[in-house]
Amino acid sequence: KAGVTQTPRYLIKTRGQQVTLSCSPISGHRSVSWYQQTPGQGLQFLFEYFSETQRNKGNFPGRFSGRQFSNSRSEMNVSTLELGDSALYLCASSRTIRSEAFFGQGTRLTVV
Amino acid sequence: KNEVEQSPQNLTAQEGEFITINCSYSVGISALHWLQQHPGGGIVSLFMLSSGKKKHGRLIATINIQEKHSSLHITASHPRDSAVYICAVRSGSGGSNYKLTFGKGTLLTVNP
């Protein structure tokens, strides 16, 4: 059974650009959540989707957005990138919002 | 004060030692997760607990809901156990305030 797949694994962008990250959940999982990990702040919750609807959102500015498609795949978008957005972005999938979460390998974003 | 506090921050052990990592939280929770993160970023979910105790191989996780405390134990530690161990709590009653909050992690190094 394939795990959670995140693409790309590594990304370098320039300040002011925008970026889209992709997450394919485990087959049968309908919930996808996104997290940002930085050395200073650790892991922080971004948002969670279930059945194409955003169910929960963390304390991040509106430049961070996401969506989920009918096949449960999810994308996360960050617009007007700032240097502080450099981080490891992780997604996790679960059967439902309350079930055990399985994490992907992450996308390491570097903003220069 | 963080909602989730882990101790110790760093732990060095000799192979074969019994390891305990602690997690205390200040909010009401519906579940607690123990996660393992190796260098390179990938996160593995070790346990999801809402009460009592769970065991998987050499790993044991316990939770005391009344005391708002959980422990992760590793018996007969091995160098391959070297990783960051992260405690995360799921709080909220559903709807838009249902979120995952993470501890800062415990860096475990097991020497041969």
* Model confidence at B41: pLDDT above 80: no
Cα gap A11→A32, rounded to integer Å: 21
CB of A60 within 8 Å of a chain B CB? The answer is: no
The per-residue pLDDT of chain B, averaged, comes to: 91
Cα gap A2→B63, rounded to integer Å: 31
Cβ–Cβ below 8 Å for A97 and B104: no
Residue A1 confidence (pLDDT) = 62
Which runs of E-coded beta strand occur in A1-112?
5-7, 10-13, 19-24, 31-38, 42-50, 53-57, 64-68, 74-78, 87-94, 102-103, 107-111
* Model confidence at B99: pLDDT above 80: no
Cα gap A85→A89, rounded to integer Å: 10
Tell me the pLDDT band of B27, cut-offs 50, 70 and 90: confident
Residue B93 confidence (pLDDT) = 60
Residue B42 confidence (pLDDT) = 83
Residue B94 confidence (pLDDT) = 55
Residue A42 — φ and ψ, nearest 5°? Answer: 70, -150
Q: Which residues of B touch A58 (CB under 8 A)?
A: 99
Of B42, B92, B103, the CB nearest to A103: B42
* Model confidence at A96: pLDDT above 90: no
Write down the number of H helices and E strands in chain B. Answer: 0, 11
Residue B75 — φ and ψ, nearest 5°? Answer: -95, 150
CB atoms within 10 A of CB B39: 8
Tell me the pLDDT tens digit for each residue of A15-67: 999 999 999 999 999 999 999 999 888 899 999 999 999 988 888 999 999 99
The per-residue pLDDT of chain A, averaged, comes to: 93
Residue A60 — φ and ψ, nearest 5°? Answer: -120, 150
User: pLDDT exceeding 90 applies to what percent of chain A?
Assistant: 82
B81/chain A closest Cα distance in angstroms: 18
